[in-house]
Amino acid sequence: MLIKSKTKKENTLRWLSAAVLLAMYANNSWAFSIDDVAKQAKDLAGKSFEAPKSNLPSQLRDMKYADYQQIQFNHDKAYWGKLKTPFKLEFYHQGMYFDVPVKLNEVTANTVKEIKYNPEYFNFGSVQHDPETVKNLGFAGFKVLYPLNSKGKDDEITSFLGASYFRVIGEGQVYGLSARGLAIDTALPSGEEFPRFKAYWIERPKPQDKQLVIYALLDSPRATGAYRFVIHPGRESVVDVQSKVYLRDSVGKLGVAPLTSMFLFGANQPSPVTNYRPSLHDSDGLSIHAGNGEWIWRPLNNPRHLAVSTFTVENPKGFGLLQRGREFNQYQDLDDRYDLRPSGWVEPQGDWGKGRIELVEIPTADETNDNIVAFWSPETLPEPGKEMNFKYRLHFTRDEDQLHSPETAWVKNTLRSTGDVKQSNLVRQPDGSIAFVVDFNGKEMSKLPENTPVTPQVSVGKNGDVVEQTVRYNPVTKGWRLILRLKVKDAKQTTEMRAALMSGDKTLTETWSYQLPANE
């Protein structure tokens, strides 16, 4: 039987098809993913921890913060600066306590290559340094630029610098609170362990991309991890986080999706010294959306002693450190613009199971210390070496009211005052009580007639006695105001309070949960 041979055109098409399939197979089999980082993390978890060694000369290690700030990246050398992509990278130099280099890698369609350190990236200003010595140093971290606020102008939108810390901002925002990859043994007597991102892989974005993908390898004495961050810049910048965490050894407390912020003083805890700024904080409260649907608002404190508050929650729908005060006159600070600092909101993806949200408040004398930490802590942890998976979305926003469902009113203000009573001569006389004025606002609440019967539901711990709990309509905010006065039995002890507003058997508001710190 005679078999007709293939034509030249058919052979060519067949060869091209095979080549395309081979290329597709090669690309798919190579494509970089979180699993590549997870393999390294799992391997590390099976080995003893090797503490990173500093390679920093003394003149750079002993420098002050103002000196470190003089080491600036040369903007004309921005990585990807000559590519048609909306994203650019700039790098941080080692210095001060950023004394260990991190490895940076670029991921392209068909390869991974290290981004090599070069001192020519930087302008050292007046910082004294040995040109030969700095040749052997490295990067402390990196920042990402993107035209966030106007076309043609690059804005810094995120910064990865120090341990596993990173900060992100949206349109019209300035840096405030930080997120972290992981927290270990926060506020335990044994001392906190700070895992660090030791290596990053950053995907080179395409010209049309509106998001940036970053991978990170986390390492610490008792834990390792692989992270994937997808950053979506915008009015509200969003970061999708996927993590695979492995324990080397048992830990006392594991903090997932930790947020770190600062609270010095505010309306619920005024400055102890005269200050033209009514408030000074990056966040003014912890917000929780529990798995059962309850909303909780816990105003922050700057306590005299370390304070830890625990909220048992199963499958949380969200939690975050929020900056609800948005008016400039609440801060009056033209330099630091606390009114423009973002709230950080964690939205878990999938069921996280049983656990607790912890709030840690650390005493601080000034605004340079981040003294507030909040995180999710699982009830049970797997054996060392077993993989833990967490997915969540981080929101960096100034639209805090949009986080809530419209039918639930939220706390706009918590104001603290000396309690008093009005005498027959109309003069107010202090009576030894402490007064709290709590304003509740909400979209649906604002539609209620002002004669709606609204009642308080208040509970106070054993260390306080309630002497007044009244509610009145607030025509300015179209919400309702709770006036709560109590007498503290022992000023050396903390006092717990909870309150919500009801109309009949319907709960109108989130739960205001406050801890009055000990006075000594």
Nearest to 91 by CA among 112, 71, 62: 71
Nearest to 142 by CA among 166, 155, 165, 161: 161
Mean pLDDT of 114-123: 96
What per-residue confidence (pLDDT) applies to 520? Answer: 63
Mean pLDDT of 500-506: 96
Mean pLDDT of 10-33: 53
For the cut 80, the answer to whether the pLDDT of residue 4 exceeds it is no
pLDDT digits (tens, 9 = 90+) for 410-423: 999 999 999 998 88
| Identity of residue 173 | Q
Q: For strand 103-107 and strand 196-203, is the pairing parallel, antiparallel, or unpaired?
A: parallel
Report the chain's mean pLDDT, rounded to a whole number: 93
Residue 441, phi then psi, degrees to nearest 5:
-125, 155
What per-residue confidence (pLDDT) applies to 3? Answer: 39
pLDDT digits (tens, 9 = 90+) for 340-366: 999 999 999 999 999 999 999 999 999
What per-residue confidence (pLDDT) applies to 23? Answer: 47
What domains, with CATH codes, occur in the chain?
42-403 (2.70.98.10), 410-516 (2.60.40.10)
For the cut 80, the answer to whether the pLDDT of residue 290 exceeds it is yes
What per-residue confidence (pLDDT) applies to 25? Answer: 42
E strands of 340-381, at which residues? 343-349, 354-361, 372-378
Q: 432: which 2 tokens?
A: 């030894």
Mean pLDDT of 302-331: 97
What per-residue confidence (pLDDT) applies to 17? Answer: 47
CA angle, residues 313, 319, 320, in degrees to nearest 5: 145
What per-residue confidence (pLDDT) applies to 130? Answer: 85
What per-residue confidence (pLDDT) applies to 133? Answer: 86
Mean pLDDT of 109-121: 96
For the cut 70, the answer to whether the pLDDT of residue 28 exceeds it is no
Contact call for residues 228 and 242 (beta carbons, < 8 A):
yes
Q: For strand 280-281 and strand 263-265, is the pairing parallel, antiparallel, or unpaired?
A: antiparallel
Residue 456, phi then psi, degrees to nearest 5:
-90, 145
Look up the pTM and report it: 0.92
pLDDT digits (tens, 9 = 90+) for 38-88: 999 999 999 999 999 999 998 899 999 999 999 999 999 999 999 999 999
Mean pLDDT of 28-34: 79
